[in-house]
Structure 1
Amino acid sequence: MQTTSSPLPRHIAIALLVTVACMFAANHVSARLAFDNGTGLLLAILTRSGVACSILLTLVILKRKRLWLPRRTWPWQLMVGALITVQSLALYSAVARLPVVIALLLTNTFPIQLALLTWLLGGPRPTLRQCVIMGIILLGLLVVLDIPAWLIQAEALGSDWTLGIGFGLLSAFVFASALWITEHRLSGVGSTLRSLLTMQTVFIAMLAGAALGVVPGGMNLPENSQGWTGLVLLAFLYGAGFSTLLICVPRLDMARNAPVMNIEPVASLVFGYFVLGQTLGPVQLLGGTVVVGGIVILSLSKVR
């Protein structure tokens, strides 16, 4: 008899991962739609994390899991929650200032930062092949960001562009740090419970930030129906995608299929064009292709 943990047929697993990646891409486009129509940053993250918490808590109850962590893991779990809080703020701040696809390409440099962080903290040194791939990814990213034009016309682009790049890279760094802690300090904690505690930390941090007024206008309500649509969609899409991935991951053979998730920037480019009218030039599209291709190859090389 086939067990519930048996892998799904690969074409179904890939279809699910593509669907989840598209949900995450649509979530970011919805966030930009919400921000462009007056929605506060903290409100967006608070709504998203609240929906995710509700779904995760339901899963924990249905699976009858204990809400308990080994004593020595609590500090690490709190640190992961804090890092994901910063990552959420940085990513949405980048999305609010840059074309969505560029913000996601910056964030998706986390595999490079994770490899370097692992090496810095005593892990294996990246191989020559991995270093070459990382260099190609960075070159592609320079093309996407159109750095020469940016240096020539920095005034035209404005300070938001610089801040957006900084937030995108910060998002990648803190996410890589959270992944390192998860792998090396929290590997014995169940993924559902770990995710629930992480989302609860984000939710509580957003409530505290709102109460203290740390982000001016952070709790502003949407100004119109488009803003409300963006807010509702970003919460629903993130919650649906996150829970689908979490429920199905034991059967998705992630070691083989995880690189499929890198379709997210491509999907965001399509959604961003139709919903927001955001476009990239031909050279930037070429650079984006190099970045996504390099990340896929890097992921496959790690699998091997």
Structure 2
Amino acid sequence: MQSDSTFFPRPMAIALLIMCATLFAGNHIGARFAFDNGAGLLFAVLARSLLSLIFMFSIVKLRKASMKIPAHLIKWQLLLGFLIAAQSALLYSAITLIPVAMALLLVNTWPMMFIMANWISGKSKPNVKMFLLLVMILIGLILVLNIDLSAPISDDWLLGVCFGIASAIFLATTMWVTQYQLAGIAGSVRSAYIMMIVVISMLLAGVFEILPGGLDLPHNTTGWAGIGALAVLYGIAVTTLFVLTPRLDMARNSPILNFEPVASLFLSYVFLEQFLNSLQLIGGAIVVLGIMAIGLSRA
């Protein structure tokens, strides 16, 4: 077990995690600018993953880590890469159809799905406190989604919500595979392979036109700025986490990353003029508090 002296002071750790959460949120704002100005979805994921791949390989090189993976774990590593590729595409699809903050709130329900999967599979036993927190999150989501049953539901809205929920399911599955199958693989090595698989997947999907127009380039400088922002912001955030994780006391501080949807609310309002109504804001606060409570209960 790591001693407290090896960790950053808690205020510093919290500030770094808030910075990472804000950068992750900013990456999605950049993606929306890119999509609104002609960039294809596959191209956006490809740009983000390629820069992250360069960063991850640099970390592996600096740490002189072995890239060898035991033969019996290769299938799980491949699955992990394909899951992240699908999750990234689904999330970016969601933010083209619904407000960024709503999409991120939906995706950030993955801890709830992970816990329920543990209960169903017998990995852990259900408890009343956790059940009440899950109910709390569901109530918050109902408020965020702001469903008016008396009005017709937009196809785009419904599809965006489905993409957001599917992205959360894929992310929960990713965490499941990581924890129960690949926990012994170094994080930088595992992530380097993930990014490599995502890059190859996006290129193949584009070449075979699985998603028509998926590799389209932005039409103007605003679109290119969005691509640059999403790649750089995501790359910096994910690299910072991998490099500094041993000193951030993640067992205690990881719930701070749930600041991402909160940051997206502010950034969406400033850059995209997207905003949620008062009831949705209350629901969003309930979701974030519930997820943070789940994270803190694990510490």
> What band does the TM-score fall into relative to the shorter chain?
over 0.9
**What is the aligned partner in structure 2 of residue 177 from structure 1?**
173
Structure 2 match to 1:68? 68
1:152, CA displacement in angstroms?
Answer: 2.3
**Quick one: which amino acid aligns to residue 35 of structure 1?**
F
Instruction: String of CA shifts for 1:152-206, please: whole Å, max 9, x gaps.
Output: 2225xx2111110001000100110110111011111100000100111111100
Conserved? CA contact 2:251–2:298, under 8 Å: no
| Secondary structure at the counterpart of residue 241 of structure 1 | helix
Deviation at 1:298, TM superposition (A): 1.2
In the TM superposition, 1:113-192 aligns within 5 A as: 113-147=113-147, 149=148, 151-155=149-153, 158-192=154-188
Question: What SS does the aligned partner of 2:216 have?
Answer: coil
Amino acid at match of 1:82: F
Work out the CA distance in 1 between the residues paired with 2:37 and 2:10.
Answer: 41
Counterpart contact for 1:118–1:124, Cα < 8 Å: yes
- Does residue 302 in structure 1 map to residue 269 in structure 2? no
Q: 1:237 aligns with which of 233, 236, 249?
A: 233
1:192 maps to amino acid: S
Say which of 258, 269, 274 aligns to 2:254: 258
| Cα distance in 1 for residues equivalent to 2:76 and 2:234 | 24
Counterpart of 1:272, as a letter, is: S
SS at match of 1:154: coil
**Matches of 2:50 and 2:121 in 1, distance apart?**
34
- C-alpha distance in structure 2 between counterparts of 1:254 and 1:232, whole Å: 29
Match of 1:97 in 2: 97
User: Is the aligned partner of 1:217 residue 2:196?
Assistant: no
| Cα distance in 2 for residues equivalent to 1:113 and 1:47 | 29
1-structure distance, mates of 2:122, 2:209: 40
CA–CA separation in structure 2 for the residues paired with 1:62 and 1:256: 28
How far apart, CA to CA, are the structure 2 residues paired with 1:197 and 1:46?
14
Report the identity percentage.
43
Structure 1: any 5+ residue segments left out of the alignment? none
> Structure 2 CA distance, aligned partners of 1:75 and 1:23?
31
Aligned length: 298
Which residue number corresponds to residue 18 of structure 1?
A: 18
Counterparts of 2:84 and 2:24 in 1: how far apart (Å)?
A: 16
**Is the contact between residue 206 and residue 212 of structure 2 (CA under 8 Å) also seen in structure 1?**
no
Q: 1:101, 1:125 → 2: CA distance?
A: 32
